[in-house]
Amino acid sequence: MTVLVTGGAGYIGAHVVRLLVRSGRDVVVVDDLSTGTAERVGGAELVRLDVAAPGSAEALARVLRRRGVTDVVHFAARKRVDESVADPLRYYQQNVDGLGAVLRACTAEGARSVVFSSSAAVYGDVAGGLVREDAPTAPVNPYGRTKLVGEWMLRDVAATGALRGTALRYFNVAGAGWPDLGDPAVANLVTRVLDAVGRGERPRVFGTDFATADGSGVRDYVHVMDLARAHVAALDAMAGDAEPYRCLNVGTGTGTSVLQVVAGLSAAMGVPIATEVVGRRAGDPAEVVADPAAIERVLGWRAEETLASTLASAWDAWRHARP
């Protein structure tokens, strides 16, 4: 098995690359290094390429042919909601065209399976409770819509028999499997809190008037190592059965509020954290938590890490990057 990982120099991709390499699999990484770094791929071959650029399908096909790639894990995409709202065409070009190039290369060179990095953003506003894969998909921003279109593309290609596909819908990813692979972006709650505290500021809490136990928004936080293991499990499953396409949530099934995350980070850091409460953000639901029953049933996967270990690992990685 030779696995091509697009976006493998990024936060989540690098964890999957390291797990695959340590399991003895041959790995090649394709990344344009716009957000990732070459040091994260370790000993894997790195091909610098923007998968959404003109001619990328042909360039990817050459890599697949040269390395005898059997399977692909596709991470390469833009993922900031605010950016997608400000520049939707860029997001469709990067996320949809990029996946299209990957699928064209895979079908041309006979790759047998693709794992697609999707998102819980495909669900949009939810009514609360555990969210199953058969819940309505009504994304509320261009980023979420590009992920839903990507799922459709993969499902339709898989239906032709050209390859097998698994779309993994991530919930809130945090933590680090190794200190050198922490999340470098200040774009989610955990890194925003760490960044604010490091600058001597109070992290902002967007609303404490939700219908939740403490009034702050509740989300499902999954450790990046658990997420990486889900990708490996998806690859292994597609090698062993004939199911053409699956779509699976990756989450813990347990909700954690914003204020609970702040308290957990305070415990991990050993310092009190004072917050600034501001108004809700438009479109923020009160609670979004995964129902992980399907992925456990189909792949035998379940989250192993605790919230405390997730937050402690995020703090360790943050300190490692900023000694």
Catalytic machinery residues: 143
161: left (phi over 0), alpha (psi -120 to 50) or beta: left
Assess contact for 263 and 216: CB atoms under 8 A.
no
Q: For residues 310 and 323, give the distance between their C-alpha atoms in angstroms, rounded to a whole number.
A: 20
Helix, strand, coil shares of the chain as percentages rounded to 5? 45, 20, 35
Distances (CA, A) of 81 to 8, 11, 17, 141, 310: 21, 17, 26, 7, 23
Which helix (DSSP H) or strand (DSSP E) does residue 319 occupy? helix 307-321
DSSP classification of residue 281? P
Residues 6 or more apart from 183 whose CB is under 8 A from it? Answer: 11, 173, 174, 176, 190, 191, 224, 314, 317
- Find, among 67, 48, 60, the residue nearest to 2 by Cα: 67
83-120 core/surface letters (b: 16 or more CB in 10 A; e: else): bbeeeeeebbebbbbbbbbbbbbbbebebbbbbbbbbb
DSSP structure string for 8-40? TTSHHHHHHHHHHHHTT-EEEEEE--SS--GGG
